[in-house]
């Protein structure tokens, strides 16, 4: 696929944000789940999100087309759902940009990309490493745009910090939100 113009990327970003339709009460975990739904709609197949420990892997996410036509999207199991959302949006961006993952049913292809890894890990890596550097940059750019818009939408609807901050920080922010911007007490 030819590289998209800035305008086309923005339009694609707007479509995804509209589809995800974040509300003030949504958590990043909920947006992760909806990202999987959007991927399923775009691919016309079942998509399963799999959060896994990928400590020694050279990537934090991968999309693999399984032999039955469904997809497994692997995402690093991070303590931060915001971080997981960023990874899943990157994988969604590959789908939106028509970057084709290597099929897990192609053992020759898997071995070509990952000859030193055991079968299951090879399938994961192959789904990620078949993209070119340009594909990765384009997917990252689109994912960043989507995440930025989702964050802006959330910030414009509420003055509170993200749902993943510690309870102590949330209490402080809740207390400060009632003060006028000029710093004077009401």
pLDDT digits (tens, 9 = 90+) for 99-146: 877 566 555 444 443 444 455 555 555 544 455 588 888 889 899 999
**C-alpha Rg value of the chain to the nearest Å:** 19
**How far is residue 79's CA from residue 14's CA, in Å, rounded to a whole number?**
28
**Contacts (Cβ under 8 Å, ≥6 apart) of 89:** 35, 143, 146, 147
Nearest to 64 by CA among 74, 52, 54: 74
* E strands present in the chain: 47-52, 61-65, 71-76
Q: Is residue 52 part of a domain?
A: yes
Q: Is residue 115 part of a domain?
A: yes
Residue 40 included in any domain? yes
Note whether residue 166 is domain-resident. Answer: no
Residue 134 lies in a domain: yes
- The answer to whether 80 and 131 are in contact (CB under 8 A) is no
From 77, 82, 76, 71, select the one nearest 38 (Cα to Cα).
71
Q: What is the DSSP string of 88-128?
A: HHHHHHHHHTT-PPPBTT-HHHHHHH-TTS-HHHHHHHHHH
**CA-based nearest residue to 174, from 183, 161, 155, 184:** 161
Centroid of chain to Cα 182: 38
104 within a domain of the structure (yes/no): yes
Q: Between these two residues, 54 and 70, which has the higher pLDDT value?
A: 70
**Domain total in the chain:** 1
**Percentage of the chain modeled with pLDDT above 90:** 27
Instruction: Calculate the average pLDDT of the chain.
Output: 75
Domain housing 65: 6-157
pLDDT tens sequence across 29-50: 999 999 999 999 999 999 999 8
Whole-model pTM: value is 0.70
Would you give the distance in Å from CA 122 to the centre of its chain? 21
171 inside domain:
no
Q: Evaluate whether residue 139 is within a structural domain.
A: yes
Q: What is the pLDDT of residue 78?
A: 85
* Top-confidence residue, 123 or 63: 63
Positive/negative CA dihedral, 87, 46, 51, 38: positive
């Amino acid at each position: 696929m030819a590289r998209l113009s800035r305008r086309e990327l923005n339009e694609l970003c707007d479509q995804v944000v509209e589809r995800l339709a974040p509300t003030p009460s949504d958590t990043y975990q909920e947006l992760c789940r909806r990202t999987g739904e959007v991927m399923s709609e775009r691919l016309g197949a079942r998509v399963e999100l799999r959060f896994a420990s990928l400590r020694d892997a050279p990537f934090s996410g991968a999309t693999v087309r399984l032999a039955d036509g469904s997809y497994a999207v692997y995402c690093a199991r991070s303590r931060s759902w915001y971080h997981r959302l960023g990874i899943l949006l990157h994988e969604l961006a590959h789908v939106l940009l028509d970057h084709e993952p290597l099929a897990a049913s192609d053992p020759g292809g898997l071995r070509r990309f990952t000859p030193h890894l055991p079968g299951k890990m090879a399938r994961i890596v192959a789904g990620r490493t078949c993209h070119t550097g340009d594909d990765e940059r384009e997917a990252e750019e689109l994912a960043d745009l989507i995440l930025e818009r989702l964050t802006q939408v959330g910030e414009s609807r509420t003055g509170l910090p993200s749902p993943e901050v510690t309870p102590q920080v949330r209490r402080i922010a809740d207390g400060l939100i009632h003060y006028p911007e000029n710093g004077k007490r009401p």
